[in-house]
Structure formats: structure tokens, C-alpha cells
Structure 1
């Protein structure tokens, strides 16, 4: 899939910034509890839906979509999900680190694949570095809460200022890559100034909101909605209201199953908050791996 045309990208950027400003404004009126409830609602609705059509994306570029082919893809998909979940519960510290790195790559890929064509030898490491910068800023600007959550989840005590240093390191490397891209790929300084502004807005959101609310804002507004847009264009050729309805309809069964599963867990584990959070993170990690693979395949697919 190629980068988005300038008109669509401009509208997407405007939409993202307007809604980001709205979240900054509304943060001042929400209690921590309200932010948490709204965050989970957004993550489990829009967040889950944006990754619920992976099978359709896999079948999009195949000439034949027989029942056997569909069942084969679903089987592989389920095996990857269960395997990831098993890894998470048996090696939780290592799996959490891998989850952050993989999610970082996935976030970076979604942001940059629609904006700039980067050579294959650079894009994987750059996308990962950009995503790690996002996570580092999120954790650094909510450091006390982040360290406590990670300790509860993995039993690992992280040193103070760790995320400050990872922010500096990843930020410095991102700047080096951007300097190279400016010289050899895209010499319009306005483009890079805009990207710097985006980072500043994201950092302001992270600083203003609680950890879960800050993550939800980025995950939904900066990642999931742009991902939905690119998936609609890839599957249907354009992003229109009727196609969005068709997309949601085709992902409804997957979404209902995921929500029912999580609601049942919450019902039985509501008195065991730590265990519920661990399972929720494992669930997100399990569906992130296959989704990230599918999206990479979509972005690297050349339009005929």
C-alpha cells in the first residue's frame, strides 16, 4: 500500500489534532476513575475493532478464497494468538518487553507508512525506534504510575529515570534518521516541522492525562482510527460511510467474542484487579502479534 494522497492525509492530520485538543480539554473535567472507565471502553470498542478484520485483509490479495483457505488462515491466526498468550503467562517479563517493542514497531509503521516511503533496509528499525520513543514518553511522563504497573505485572523493579534515558536515546536516534530522510528522501522542512509538532502534542497529552487515559488517547486517535482508514482503502478502494458499515459488520462476530470473553473475566476476577490487568495485557499482546504481521503485509503489498 502506498502513502496516502495529500488531501486525505491533510484531513486525517486535522481530525487527529482537533480530537487531541478535545481530549486535552475534557481531561480537566474527568476524575481518574472516569478516565479509566472511558479508556477501557474505547480500547475494547474501537481499539479491538480496528484489529478485527485481519482475515479479510489476508484474503484481500488472494485470487481464491475457498472455505479451506479461510479455515487455514483462521487456524494459523488462532494458533499464533494462543501461542503468544502462553508465552506471556510463562515468561511474563520477557513477553512484556517483546510486547512493547512489537507494539512500538506497529505504532511506528502505522504512522509512517502512510506518510513517507522509506527504504526497506531502514524502515523496520526506524518504525521500531519511533514507537519506542512514543512508549518512552508515555512511561516517562507518567513515571511513578508506569513503574508501579510494570512491577505489579512482572515483579520487576525498574530504576528511576529509566524512561527518561530511553526517551533521550530513542529521540536522538529518531532525529538522526529524520535528518538522513530529509537529505535523501523528503527535503520539505515543513513536513518535518509538522512531525515535530505532532510529537509535542502527543507529549502534552501524555503529561496531562493519567497513564491509562493517555495510552487510550494515543491508541485510539493516533493509531486505531488512522489504521481503520487505511484498512478501508485497502479492502474497498476508498473510505466511505457504507464501507465502514460493511467493515464493522464483518468484524462484529470477532468483536463480540472478544468482549464477552473479557466481560466474563472481569465478572469472575473483579476482586482480583492485578490478575485481571495481567490477563487484559496478555489478551492485547496475543492479538497484537498477528495483527502487526497482517498490517506489515498490507503495507508492503504493491498495488496492481
Structure 2
């Protein structure tokens, strides 16, 4: 059986190397030169969210319209916004009445979204296998990000999960965290072996994925939470997503979507998000507690995740139909 490789719509190789190198340099600086002051950490966090995190989500309307165009479907902005906002409202209600379920759902949705972006698989890999593998890959990232920063994460989750504070404290104990991460890692290894047995992907693909994952996890573990989140969500995930969106919007065959034009399309919706964050920061300044600010930020990101994931997943499904592999 012929070995296959898959490279399209998995970000930009040069951009990937720059982001990974920046993360490694940040780790070395923080551990061997001088620890990054907490104020600078939050500035880096804010900057990455403002220049990459928010803009990549602000393109959902444009991406959804392109999805419909390329699939020969009619598109209605009114219908899009009604559906988008309805899902946000429904998920927000879920957070209010069923916070434990909403938190679990957010972790699963985030895991799939991160995995779908970071781990591009050819469309001919069965949908069930793809979803399970990508979700477990993303879950590994999410668990490492949360469980290796227990001192910062627990106060935030305790606000959400007041009734389960004791359970969370037990879960975040080092031995339990290691066991959980190791279990997901073992399952992921089994899934990769099954994928290779069935589809015979190129060894280069596996080696690149392994090396990239080790570097990403290492950076997340050895950076404090604000920098770890800034690196992964603001730097790695959002910049790779923006590149994939740029390629997707260039797929009409009329003209190549440049970054200046892409950022121009981000501006209207990004400004709305900036206003929301500004209000959040004003509220946080009165509350004078970092955990409460992060709690509101966390909930805001969570509510946006469900409709954003659907738009991006539809984009990836279309793009990766072009990269079938034979079995």
C-alpha cells in the first residue's frame, strides 16, 4: 500500500516555525535569564488575543459565506446571525443553569476544535475516526494546559464549580493529573497506530506531528499560565487558523486573499469584541480580583466557541475533501 502525505490547509510551515521558535525562546528567557514579570505576562496575553485571537473569530461571517459559495448553497446574513446568536444564547443559558455540564461540553468542544486545526487529516479517513482522533489530540493539549497550571486554574474553576470544589482539588493533584494525561496519551497512541495500519500515511507526517506536539506541550508546561495561553491560543492556534482562513477565502479562484485585506475584513467585528473586553476590564477593575476577571473572560470565550466551531469545522470539511487518500 502506498504511503500518503497530507500538507494542505494545515497552516503555514514558516509561520509554524516562527511561533514555535518564539515559544521556545520565551521558555528559555523565563527560566534562565529573568522571569517575565506578571504585568508583562498579561500584556503579552492581551496583545496576542487582540491581534490574533479575536480577529480569527471575527471572520466567522465571511468564512460561512465562503463555505456556502463553494458548496453552491444560498447564504443569508440574517439567517446566519440569527443562528449564531441563538446558539450563543442557548449555551449562555446552559452555563447559568447547568455549569458543570456546560464546562464539560466546553472542554470537549475546545478539544475537537484545537485538534481539527492542529491535526489535519485527509477527508477519506472516516468521519468517526477523524473526530475521535482529533478530539483526543485536542484533549491532550487542553488537559496539559489546565492541569499543569493548577495554582492559576483552580481559583477560576472554583468560581464555576463551587459545589464540586473538593472534586476539582482532587483532580488537580499531581498524581491524578499525570494519570489522566497519561491515559489520554495512551489512547492517542493507539489511535495513531490504527490510522497508520489502515491508511499508511507517510512516516514524515507522523514524525512532524510527534515533534511538533512535543514542542507545543513542552512550551505549555514550562510557561506560566498567561504566557502558555498566549502562546497556544493567541499565537499557535489563532495564527494557524488565520492562515487557513486566508487560504480558504483565496479558494474562489478570482484573487488571492492577502493579509491586509483579511485584517480589513476583521475590523468591524473585532471592534465590537474590543468594546466587550473593555467593559469586562472595567468591571474587573472594580472587583479587584484576577480570578473573577479570568472567570468572565473564560465564560465569554466558552459562549463563542460553539457557533465558531461549527463555522470552522464546515470550512475544514470542504477544504479537506480536496485531499483524499486511497486505501
TM-score, normalising length from structure 1? 0.88
User: Partner of 1:41 in structure 2?
Assistant: 47
Q: Kindly report the root-mean-square deviation, in angstroms, between the aligned alpha carbons of the 2 structures.
A: 2.8
Mean Cα deviation higher: 261-270 or 111-120: 111-120
> In structure 2, what is the Cα distance between the partners aligned to 1:209 and 1:7?
25
Contact (CA 8 Å) 1:89, 1:282: kept in 2 or not?
Answer: no
Q: What is the deviation of 1:86?
A: 2.4
Q: What is the deviation of 1:114?
A: 6.2
Q: What is the deviation of 1:21?
A: 2.2
> Tell me, which stretches of 5 or more residues in structure 1 are unaligned?
none
> In structure 1, what is the Cα distance between the partners aligned to 2:134 and 2:189?
13
Q: What is the deviation of 1:59?
A: 1.0
Alignment equivalent of 1:23, drawn from 1, 23, 26: 26
Residues 116 and 62 (structure 1 numbering): CA distance in 2 closer, same or farther, change over 3 Å?
closer
Alignment equivalent of 1:259, drawn from 274, 283, 301: 274
Mean Cα deviation higher: 190-199 or 169-178: 190-199
Q: Give secondary structure in 2 for the equivalent of 1:237.
A: coil
> Tell me, which stretches of 5 or more residues in structure 2 are unaligned?
323-327
Alignment equivalent of 2:61, drawn from 55, 65, 85: 55
Q: Give secondary structure in 1 for the equivalent of 2:125.
A: coil
Contact (CA 8 Å) 1:4, 1:114: kept in 2 or not?
Answer: no
User: Partner of 1:169 in structure 2?
Assistant: 183
Is 1:268 paired with 2:274? no
> In structure 2, what is the Cα distance between the partners aligned to 1:258 and 1:117?
37
Q: What is the deviation of 1:228?
A: 0.6
Is 1:205 paired with 2:212? no
Residues 124 and 65 (structure 1 numbering): CA distance in 2 closer, same or farther, change over 3 Å?
closer
> In structure 1, what is the Cα distance between the partners aligned to 2:262 and 2:95?
30
> In structure 1, what is the Cα distance between the partners aligned to 2:184 and 2:211?
17
Alignment equivalent of 1:89, drawn from 93, 96, 110: 96
Correspondences of 1:129-148 after superposition (within 5 Å): 129-148=136-155
Higher relative contact order (CA 8 A, sep 6+): 2
Give the number of equivalent residue pairs. 301
Post-superposition CA distance 1:73-113 (Å, at most 9, x none)? 11211121222222223322221221111101100000112
> In structure 1, what is the Cα distance between the partners aligned to 2:282 and 2:81?
28
Q: Give secondary structure in 2 for the equivalent of 1:118.
A: coil
Is 1:228 paired with 2:242? yes
Q: What is the deviation of 1:222?
A: 2.2
> In structure 2, what is the Cα distance between the partners aligned to 1:139 and 1:259?
26
Residues 228 and 204 (structure 1 numbering): CA distance in 2 closer, same or farther, change over 3 Å?
same
Is 1:191 paired with 2:230? no
Residues 114 and 4 (structure 1 numbering): CA distance in 2 closer, same or farther, change over 3 Å?
farther
Residues 294 and 8 (structure 1 numbering): CA distance in 2 closer, same or farther, change over 3 Å?
closer
Mean Cα deviation higher: 70-79 or 24-33: 24-33
Post-superposition CA distance 1:53-79 (Å, at most 9, x none)? 11111111335898x811221121112
> In structure 1, what is the Cα distance between the partners aligned to 2:124 and 2:215?
24
